[in-house]
Amino acid sequence: MKRPTRVAVFASGSGSNFQALTDAVAEGRIPAAQLVLLVTDKPQAAVVDRAERAGVPVFAFRPRDYASREAYEAEIVARLTELEVDLIVLAGYMRLVTSTLLTPFAGRIVNIHPSLLPSFPGVDGVRQAIEYGVKVTGVTVHFVDAGLDTGPVLLQRAVEVLDDDTEETLAARIHAVEHELYPEAIRLLSEGRVELDGRKVRLRK
Average pLDDT value over all residues in the chain:
97
The C-alpha torsion from 93 through 99 and 103 to 106, rounded to 10°, is 40
pLDDT mean over 55-74: 97
Question: For a pLDDT cut of 70, what percent of the chain falls above it?
Answer: 100
- Provide the terminal-to-terminal Cα distance of the chain, rounded to the nearest Å: 20
Could you report the per-residue pLDDT of 11-39, keeping only the tens digit for each?
999 999 999 999 999 999 999 999 999 99
- Is residue 99 within 8 A of residue 130, CB to CB? The reply is no
- For residue 205, the tally of other CB atoms under 10 A from its CB is 3
Distances (CA, A) of 7 to 20, 37, 106, 157, 171: 14, 7, 15, 23, 26
User: For residue 184, what is the enclosing H or E element?
Assistant: helix 167-190
User: Is the pLDDT at 1 greater than 80, yes or no?
Assistant: no
- Is residue 88 within 8 A of residue 102, CB to CB? The reply is no
Q: Give the Cα separation of 15 and 11 in Å (integer).
A: 6
pLDDT mean over 131-138: 98
Answer CATH for 5-194 from 3.40.50.170, 3.40.30.10, 3.40.50.620, 3.40.140.10 = 3.40.50.170
The domain limits of the chain are 5-194
What's the predicted TM-score (pTM) here?
0.96
- Confidence label for 2 from pLDDT (cuts 50, 70 and 90): confident
User: Is the pLDDT at 120 greater than 80, yes or no?
Assistant: yes
Residue 113 designated active-site: yes
Q: Give the Cα separation of 167 and 125 in Å (integer).
A: 10
Could you report the per-residue pLDDT of 137-169, keeping only the tens digit for each?
999 999 999 999 999 999 999 999 999 999 999
pLDDT of residue 138: 98
Q: Which one of 113, 142, 175, 179 is the catalytic residue? A: 113
Could you report the per-residue pLDDT of 7-16, keeping only the tens digit for each?
999 999 999 9
Could you report the per-residue pLDDT of 81-108, keeping only the tens digit for each?
999 999 999 999 999 899 999 999 999 9
